[in-house]
Amino acid sequence: MPEEVADKEFNIDKEKHFSEWYNELLWRAELIDQRYNVKGFLVHRPNATIAENLIEEMFEKELQRRGHKPMRFPAVIPEENFEKEAEHVEGFSPNVFWITHGGSTKLEKKLALRPTSETAMYIMYAQWIRSYRDLPFKAYQRCQVWRYETKHTRPLLRDREFYWIEAHDVFESKREAERQVIEDMEITEEIIHNKLGIPFLYFRRPSWDKFAGAEYTFGADALIASGRVLQLPSTHFLGQNFSKTFGISFIDKDGNERHPWQTCYGPAVGRILAAVIAVHGDNKGCVFPFEIAPIQIVIVPIFKTGVDIDAINTKCLMLHEKLKKEYRVEFDESDKQPGAKFYYWELRGVPIRIEVGEKELHEAKLTIVRRDTGKREMIDEKELDKYLKNVGKEILKNLKEKADKDFNSRLFEAKTKEELKKLADKGGFIKVPFCSIDSDGKPCADVIKEETGLEVRGVLHGREEAAKGKCIICGREAKLMVYLAKSY
Amino acid sequence: MPEEVADKEFNIDKEKHFSEWYNELLWRAELIDQRYNVKGFLVHRPNATIAENLIEEMFEKELQRRGHKPMRFPAVIPEENFEKEAEHVEGFSPNVFWITHGGSTKLEKKLALRPTSETAMYIMYAQWIRSYRDLPFKAYQRCQVWRYETKHTRPLLRDREFYWIEAHDVFESKREAERQVIEDMEITEEIIHNKLGIPFLYFRRPSWDKFAGAEYTFGADALIASGRVLQLPSTHFLGQNFSKTFGISFIDKDGNERHPWQTCYGPAVGRILAAVIAVHGDNKGCVFPFEIAPIQIVIVPIFKTGVDIDAINTKCLMLHEKLKKEYRVEFDESDKQPGAKFYYWELRGVPIRIEVGEKELHEAKLTIVRRDTGKREMIDEKELDKYLKNVGKEILKNLKEKADKDFNSRLFEAKTKEELKKLADKGGFIKVPFCSIDSDGKPCADVIKEETGLEVRGVLHGREEAAKGKCIICGREAKLMVYLAKSY
């Protein structure tokens, strides 16, 4: 980017102008470049790629700890596989990119560029799974998927190419599979809430919003942009739909041949990064949790008239050499003014800035400024190791508390349509009594959407909520409480 | 796979029946499944994926240490980018998969599924690089590429989809770029020879065998299958070919606009894994270096009549719990006989087997068997930590020495065509005096290929070799010594 842009202070009101703030930040913080000459395809620059890799590692570690094995399946899926599961093909085929030629030769069978991998993986699962001894079978792949989105694309939120991890598990019994769905939600909580500080709720989706081919879907909804929902990882109970159509069967302990039960789970890394940026960021730019920050620490020398520049630089250099063994750290040696350096690194969300000036030099001290609080303190140089060991947790605790507080302030309840209309534009979730999340409830959901712009996100997972009153639209006895929200 | 196959001992003469040995091993060791229903597309099972991930990590760490940043570029390339560099498009277009449709809509411009990423990346480089202050620019991506191979495919060696890391660097001066080519060769040496124990030689390729669009190419050749060459990472000096056609330029320190110099380097992970399998494996199966072994340690309980089965199992379990914090370890609790367990894990190349029987139980000892040497020894249980800390290096040293010895025994020299013909079927490299590796030498290379099946691999990098005598084919004064070999 031209220097005059790169060096301009970033200051956009995130609350008031979220879309501008978000797009400008992806660009100015050198996270994403949207200028690639195919619509909906992004270039992920190092700041995004490093954070994404670290988020992927968190998921892979957690999945492996829970018994999943990594695998790699082809990115192309022949049409014949793709068409086996009727609901699945209906759901995905409008969005499939098709490969039709190799060189100048027309291919015998056209190939789908995978929009999701069920139909690539299960054709192999059918060959591997023979006996109850092969179960449970838990595998995942870290990969890209491609979807020919017809809706307006938004960087990291809705792209035509995105990066995710997809786990596909197979079980002897329905019960085990249903337990896996809960485990997937625990993984989401463990990483997205506990390690990245992003609050969300898990909803059982209405039937018209479940994954194509699944029996039911739980989707995690976070809130960004003053209370619009962003969907984070979904987990799907596939029942025996795919095992029947793909011919996956096993001989059980009693010698009977049976179809197993399946689940799948797909954290999309770019969306998670977008949530981190959108939830924790402020008017000055990104605020990264320490663990996934592309750059964790920046060292800035402070020169005033008459100081010993060489001595300060040497101290910075030594610090840099020492810290880079353990951290992702930069030493800003550029000839910019300290103030310009500060906002440059603040924009990029670097959690810790270390300043070294004359006072620090002579007193063996360091000035440390935290990005998340802006708090500045001077510590003894020999305390630095200990300080850095703990600061990641403290930053995360602070970011999580702030995000939780904001999130919790956005949970509303409406008993009547009038109350609903008053709350509709506040941002956040509105809990209402509702008739049904099966297809017979769809007309009521359509009315809500049309009159308020709110969508039925589903029934809250984990906390039993007795239905009270009548459906807010049709007046039938409410079977459940659903959460409504506007999506970003 | 059916149990009767899975449990059969693996024993194929690697020297005599390499192809059978290799294919059968990929299958039986559960590395690769070739039954996916698109030709040339592999399923990588956990044993392959884990090793590939570890190899990738080695390269990423080394590339980052040397100043490369990770990025992610789209997998699709519009035809217009692809066609900018004439030699490049000519070299690659017969092998490109083309995406022509999204859903049922014909795309406005057809998209190439990247066969390599120059033409995706450099269009962005042209926008990012403005000034000498942006240089050197060193970036890489870890990704898949797709090539519509018309030749016979071979798993991990020539597939239509493969995984690699590609580094693309840009420099102010020719000299810096040429130094990068040497650095790339150092990275190859550091990882493939020093960490994986695979010997190879780097050759400057003949002009008819260089990368399409490059000024020159260095390719690493290892030897597998009794002396057939397998090409490992290549590094390419692109000169200013792409910077001119893609409009990459920068303002130098004197204010002049200039085209920078470029290089690229592409380690293909599957081929490297194939080399590890092919070079270190033996008639019983895989022999993995400790660092990349998908499973590093297996614990096998040994039950004889009258032993305390519970006590032995408990000891194994405790050992398993302890070791799995630091290593990839399995406890084989199956009801197979110890002998059957031994060859099952030997086939999979597990470097260390720990046996626990009655003697080990009562004397606080462990029996340890190394896969690479077959050596069995009993150690004090409390020595285990120390033993495991060192054994990785010892195994690597042994594998590397054996491989180096075999490799070095396969370097031959011929001064006349008669000598060459006698050596042609021995396997390995044959050094001969040769007229030219520019296009005027191609006819001589063709004669060699036709009469002996040997190919000109190029001129050895790093050791200056004075040409002696006349070209072995045309009799012109030899300009250089070239190495010939048959490829696998």
Radius of gyration of chain A (CA): 25
CA-CA distance, B42 to B30, in Å (whole number)?
Answer: 12
Contacting residues of A for B33, CB less than 8 Å apart: 124, 127
CATH classification at residue B228: 3.30.930.10
Yes or no: say if B283 and B164 are a contact pair by the CB < 8 Å rule: no
Min Cα separation B403/chain A (Å): 29
CB < 8 Å & 24+ apart, contacts of B397-402: B398/B372, B398/B373, B399/B197, B399/B280, B399/B287, B399/B289, B399/B372, B400/B193, B400/B194, B400/B197, B400/B199, B402/B280
Which contiguous run of DSSP H or E holds residue A139? strand A137-146
Is there a contact between B124 and A35 if contact means CB atoms under 8 Å apart? yes
Task: Please check whether residue B102 touches A, CB under 8 A.
Answer: yes
Q: Which residues on neighbouring strands pair with residue B464, listed in sequence order?
A: none
Is there a contact between B42 and A74 if contact means CB atoms under 8 Å apart? yes
Which contiguous run of DSSP H or E holds residue B421? helix B417-423
Look at residue A397 and tell me if it is in a domain.
no
CA-CA distance, B301 to B311, in Å (whole number)?
Answer: 10
| Nearest C-alpha in A relative to B146 | A75
Look at residue B194 and tell me if it is in a domain.
yes
Cis peptide leading into residue B136 (ω within 30°): yes
Q: Running DSSP on this structure, what letter comes out for residue A102?
A: E
Min Cα separation B96/chain A (Å): 5
| Nearest C-alpha in A relative to B35 | A124
Is there a contact between B49 and A72 if contact means CB atoms under 8 Å apart? yes
pLDDT at position A7, please? 64
Determine the residue type at A134. D
CA-CA distance, A145 to A87, in Å (whole number)?
Answer: 19
| Nearest C-alpha in B relative to A334 | B133
Min Cα separation B124/chain A (Å): 7
pLDDT at A368 over 60: yes
Contacting residues of A for B49, CB less than 8 Å apart: 69-72
Query: To which residue do tokens 């005033």 refer?
Result: A304
State whether A161 and A296 are in the same domain. Answer: no
Closest in B38, B103, B120 to A94, CB measured: B103
Q: Which residues on neighbouring strands pair with residue A258, listed in sequence order?
A: A250
Q: Running DSSP on this structure, what letter comes out for residue B306?
A: T
Closest CA to B198 of B58, B328, B313, B102: B58
Which among A340, A362, A391 is the end of a domain? A391
State whether A297 and A194 are in the same domain. Answer: no
| Nearest C-alpha in B relative to A122 | B36
Q: Which residues of chain B fall short of a pLDDT of 70?
A: 1-7
Contacting residues of A for B102, CB less than 8 Å apart: 95-98, 148
Look at residue A466 and tell me if it is in a domain.
yes
State whether A274 and A232 are in the same domain. Answer: yes
The number of distinct structural domains making up chain A is 3
CB < 8 Å & 24+ apart, contacts of B253-258: B253/B132, B258/B172
Say what the ipTM of the complex is.
0.96
What order of strands is seen across the sheet that includes strand A297-301? A329-331, A297-301, A352-356, A365-370, A376-380
Task: Please check whether residue A146 touches B, CB under 8 A.
Answer: yes
Which among A326, A358, A391 is the end of a domain? A391
Look at residue A304 and tell me if it is in a domain.
yes
Contacting residues of A for B45, CB less than 8 Å apart: 71
A to B CB pairs, distance under 8 Å:
151
State whether B23 and B51 are in the same domain. Answer: yes
Tokens of B406: 């075999």
Look at residue B289 and tell me if it is in a domain.
no
Contacting residues of B for A329, CB less than 8 Å apart: none
Contacting residues of A for B139, CB less than 8 Å apart: 46
pLDDT in tens, A384-418: 999 999 999 999 999 999 999 999 999 999 999 99
Look at residue B285 and tell me if it is in a domain.
no
State whether B308 and B263 are in the same domain. Answer: no
Q: What's the distance, CA A344 to chain centroid?
A: 25
Pairing state between β B105-113 and B137-146: unpaired
Look at residue B32 and tell me if it is in a domain.
yes
Pairing state between β B97-102 and B105-113: antiparallel
Task: Please check whether residue B265 touches A, CB under 8 A.
Answer: no
State whether B129 and B229 are in the same domain. Answer: yes
State whether B123 and B230 are in the same domain. Answer: yes
Which 50-69 residues of chain A touch chain B by CB within 8 A?
Answer: 50, 52-53, 69
State whether B259 and B132 are in the same domain. Answer: yes
Is there a contact between B72 and A163 if contact means CB atoms under 8 Å apart? yes
In B190-286, beta strands by DSSP E: 201-204, 216-224, 228-239, 250-251, 257-258, 261-265
pLDDT at position B4, please? 54
CATH classification at residue B429: 3.30.110.30
Closest in B36, B42, B113 to A99, CB measured: B113
Q: Running DSSP on this structure, what letter comes out for residue B290?
A: G
Is there a contact between A99 and B98 if contact means CB atoms under 8 Å apart? yes
pLDDT at position B82, please? 84
Which among B238, B257, B280 is the end of a domain? B280
State whether A153 and A225 are in the same domain. Answer: yes
pLDDT at position B51, please? 98
Look at residue A2 and tell me if it is in a domain.
no
Q: Provide the domain limits for residue A44.
A: 14-72+126-280
CATH classification at residue A312: 3.40.50.800
SS3 (DSSP) at A6 = helix
Name the band, by pLDDT with cuts 50, 70 and 90, for residue A307.
Answer: confident
State whether A258 and A302 are in the same domain. Answer: no
Query: Mean pLDDT, to the nearest integer, of A50-77?
Result: 98
Q: Running DSSP on this structure, what letter comes out for residue B470?
A: B
State whether B115 and B72 are in the same domain. Answer: yes
Is there a contact between B43 and A163 if contact means CB atoms under 8 Å apart? no
Tokens of B304: 């004889």
Task: Report pTM.
Answer: 0.96
State whether B234 and B137 are in the same domain. Answer: yes
Which contiguous run of DSSP H or E holds residue B434? strand B429-434
CA distances from A469 to A414, A441, A463 (A): 11, 16, 19
